[in-house]
Structure 1
Amino acid sequence: MLTNLKEQPKDKILGLMAMYRDDPRPTKVDLGVGVYKNAEGVTPVMRAVKAAERKIVQEQTSKAYTGLAGDPAYADAMIDMLLAGAVERDRLAAAATPGGTGAIRQAFELIQMANPKARVFVSDPTWPNHVSILGYLGIEIVKYRYFDDETRAVNFGGMMADLADVTSDDVVLLHGCCHNPTGANLTLTQWQSVIDLINEKGCTPMIDIAYQGFGDGLEDDAAATRLVVQSVPEVLIAASCSKNFGIYRERTGLLIAMSEKAENTAVTQGNLNHLNRQNFSFPPDHGARVVTTILTDPELKADWMAELEETRLGMLALREQLAAELKRLSNSDRFGFLAQHRGMFSRLGTTPDLVEKIRVDNAIYMVSDSRMNIAGLNAQTVPVLAKAIVDAGV
């Protein structure tokens, strides 16, 4: 039987990681992998996470299963952090998942269960796993224009023109903040226009929010998601704790499903429980318990928020340094967009050939579509990258 299997397409980012590992040049710079790193190139364990883990080890008396949807306290803490009372709690069903990716997968399966005819509209570009999972599940994908390679900003006119084709059967997938892979975000005014279109067409929005706190701060990064839940009858939200809590390997995510009426919530919750049971039974708990401990302890929460803000401001400083250095070297303002983008990523808007030239000539690794991880830089490597970009003729 196994001889009938066919080789699967290689993951471009994993392949890039392997090339980086094998590169013997001591000056090499990794801007490809989508993981936060500090100036020393380390993904640190946050202070509050260490403190929460010590507390859990001391106080935990059992490793028995939680419920199918995970610990309800985790869902409550995450919903409070993300939505802050923007919608009535009794309209929200929620289930813990293995990472934000698990939440996305469960959301797509829930869509398929609710309406097998549903198409999912995704931004062009979007996180590659969105398209990969949808394709695997056999759900029809429709791309809408999002990023303009010339201006390196949101192509909002193109986006709205493409979304005009949605029907009431469809789902529109939106990035809550810190768009991956471009770093270019909608303004709140633009979000309102998208919401108006969604309500006019009767389609369902789905929000992937994986970087709350990495863009403009915890509250500002949640503003668009809160606006959506206040304005539409139904919404799906896939949230991740990998980045803002730095617990990538703990695989800690949450799927939230908002029903139009509270009386529908129990059925929706039952379906989330059912999907968890089919796919992995009970969700992992350690990361969720760490997050719950932090968010429900005022001292730990304050320390976590302070360190998260340090992280955010550090990435913003790197953006501003890179934009300024490129302006100095190119005598041009054409790279000013880097300081305007938010989150870990920016997309240069250049060709795969020039990305490859930068790698070959300078040992600087970024994804072929020119997505680069700003968190892979430090104050010393920013000038190196800037010179490589200008020398390559980007």
Structure 2
Amino acid sequence: MFEQLKEQPADKILALMAAYREDPRDDKIDLGVGVYKDAEGKTPIMRAIKAAEKQLWEAEETKSYTGLAGDPGFADAMVSLVLGDAVARGSVAAAATPGGTGAVRQAFDLIKMANPNARVFVSDPTWPNHLSILKHMNIEHVPYRYFDAETGGVNFDGMMADLANVKAGDVVLLHGCCHNPTGANLTLPQWQEVVDLLNKTGAVPMIDIAYQGFGDGLEADAAATRLVASSCPEVLIAASCSKNFGIYRERTGLLMAVSSDPAKFKVNQGTLSYLNRQNFSFPPDHGARLVTMVLNDPALRADWEAELEEVRLGMLRLRQALADELRTLSGSDRFGFLAQHRGMFSRLGVGPDKVEAMREKHGIYMVGDSRMNIAGLNDMTIPKLAKAIIDVGC
């Protein structure tokens, strides 16, 4: 049997991480891996999470399974965080998953179960694992234009022209905020146009929201997702706690299925539980328990929100500092879009040849499509990055 297996293509980001580790230069800069880092290059445990973990260690009395959909308290807390009062809680079926990736995979499984002929429309570019999972599952996926390399913004006209080809039963995958890998986001009026198109065509929106709180704030970052959920008859939402709670290795996520028909709740909830059972049975609980504690305890939540805001403002400051440095070196505002992007990532919009040149000449490691992790920068490395960008002719 094993002789039939073929070597799988290497993950580009993991390969980049390996190359970075092997580079002997002391002044190399890692802008590839999608993990938040502070000014010292560390990924800290958030204060509220640490405090909740201590409380949990002292109070927890069992490691027995939770339900197939996870602890209902986690679902309640996360639905409230993501959707607020945009929809009634009784219209949202929800199940805990191993990270946001698990939520995405379960959503694709649900799509395939509900409509084997559904096409999934995906932004060009998107998070590479979206495409990898869709390909692995043999789900037809169709790209729609999204990033404008000339302006560093969204090619909205191209996007809408491509989405005009969706049909009833198709799924349109959207990034709720802080688009990965570009950092370029739709405006709320543009989101409304997308909603109108979806409702006109009968296509179903699926939202991947992995960076709530990293862009313009917790409430502002959820606004688009809430608009879609309150406006469309059916919505799938995959939410991740990895970034905004800093619990990457705890693998904490939630899949939500929103229906405007209350009668669909029982079937939807049962389906999510069924899919969990087929894939991993019971979802992990440690990270979910910590998130629930933080969101439900006023003191812990206030501290978490304050630290998350520090992180958000820090990334905005780094963006502005990089844009300012590039303006000084280039004598133009052609890199001003970097300050307008939101979240951890930005895409420079240059080819892999220039990305390779920055790696070889300057020890700058970013993904080949020119996606860079802004959180991998600090005040010391910004001038070096800006100089490398100008030096290779970006």
TM-score (norm. length: structure 2): 1.00
State the partner residue of 1:282: 282
Aligned amino acid, residue 92 of structure 1: V
For residues 227-376 of structure 1, the aligned pairs below 5 Å read 227-376=227-376
CA distance in 2, matches of 1:158, 1:383: 35
1:110 aligns with 2:95: no
C-alpha displacement at 1:339, in angstroms?
A: 0.2
Structure 1 outlier segments of 4+, above 4 Å: none
Aligned amino acid, residue 271 of structure 2: N
CA distance in 1, matches of 2:85, 2:193: 23
Identity, % of aligned positions? 72
Deviations 1:360-391 (A, max 9, x none): 00101000000000000000100000000001
Aligned amino acid, residue 275 of structure 2: L
CA distance in 2, matches of 1:118, 1:2: 32
State the partner residue of 1:54: 54
State the partner residue of 2:72: 72
CA distance in 2, matches of 1:324, 1:135: 40
State the partner residue of 1:153: 153
CA distance in 1, matches of 2:14, 2:229: 35
State the partner residue of 1:182: 182
C-alpha displacement at 1:230, in angstroms?
A: 1.1
State the partner residue of 1:211: 211
Aligned amino acid, residue 321 of structure 2: Q
C-alpha displacement at 1:3, in angstroms?
A: 1.9
C-alpha displacement at 1:192, in angstroms?
A: 0.2
Aligned amino acid, residue 20 of structure 1: Y
For residues 109-128 of structure 1, the aligned pairs below 5 Å read 109-128=109-128
State the partner residue of 1:25: 25
State the partner residue of 2:377: 377
Deviations 1:320-353 (A, max 9, x none): 0000000000001000000000000000000100
State the partner residue of 2:9: 9
Aligned amino acid, residue 252 of structure 1: T
CA distance in 2, matches of 1:132, 1:260: 31
TM-score (norm. length: structure 1): 1.00
**Structure 2 alignment gaps of length 5 or more:** none
CA distance in 1, matches of 2:89, 2:5: 46
Aligned amino acid, residue 311 of structure 2: T
State the partner residue of 2:168: 168
Aligned amino acid, residue 173 of structure 2: L
C-alpha displacement at 1:313, in angstroms?
A: 0.4
C-alpha displacement at 1:4, in angstroms?
A: 1.7
CA distance in 1, matches of 2:211, 2:321: 22
Q: SS at 1:205's partner residue?
A: strand
Aligned amino acid, residue 376 of structure 1: G
C-alpha displacement at 1:300, in angstroms?
A: 0.1
Deviations 1:245-293 (A, max 9, x none): 0000000000000123111100011110000000000000000000000
C-alpha displacement at 1:105, in angstroms?
A: 0.1
Q: SS at 1:207's partner residue?
A: strand
Q: SS at 1:290's partner residue?
A: helix
Deviations 1:37-67 (A, max 9, x none): 0000000000000000001111111110000
Q: SS at 1:34's partner residue?
A: coil
CA distance in 2, matches of 1:3, 1:117: 32
Aligned amino acid, residue 46 of structure 2: M
Deviations 1:200-234 (A, max 9, x none): 00110000000000000000000000111111101
CA distance in 2, matches of 1:230, 1:313: 29
Deviations 1:71-126 (A, max 9, x none): 00000000111111110111110000000000000000000000001000000000
CA distance in 2, matches of 1:197, 1:177: 19
May I ask how many residue pairs the two structures share in their alignment? 394
CA distance in 2, matches of 1:211, 1:259: 24
CA distance in 2, matches of 1:355, 1:383: 17
CA distance in 1, matches of 2:134, 2:3: 26
CA distance in 2, matches of 1:305, 1:89: 23
CA distance in 1, matches of 2:78, 2:367: 32
CA distance in 2, matches of 1:258, 1:81: 15
C-alpha displacement at 1:133, in angstroms?
A: 0.4
Q: SS at 2:346's partner residue?
A: strand
Deviations 1:146-183 (A, max 9, x none): 00111111000000000000000200000000000000
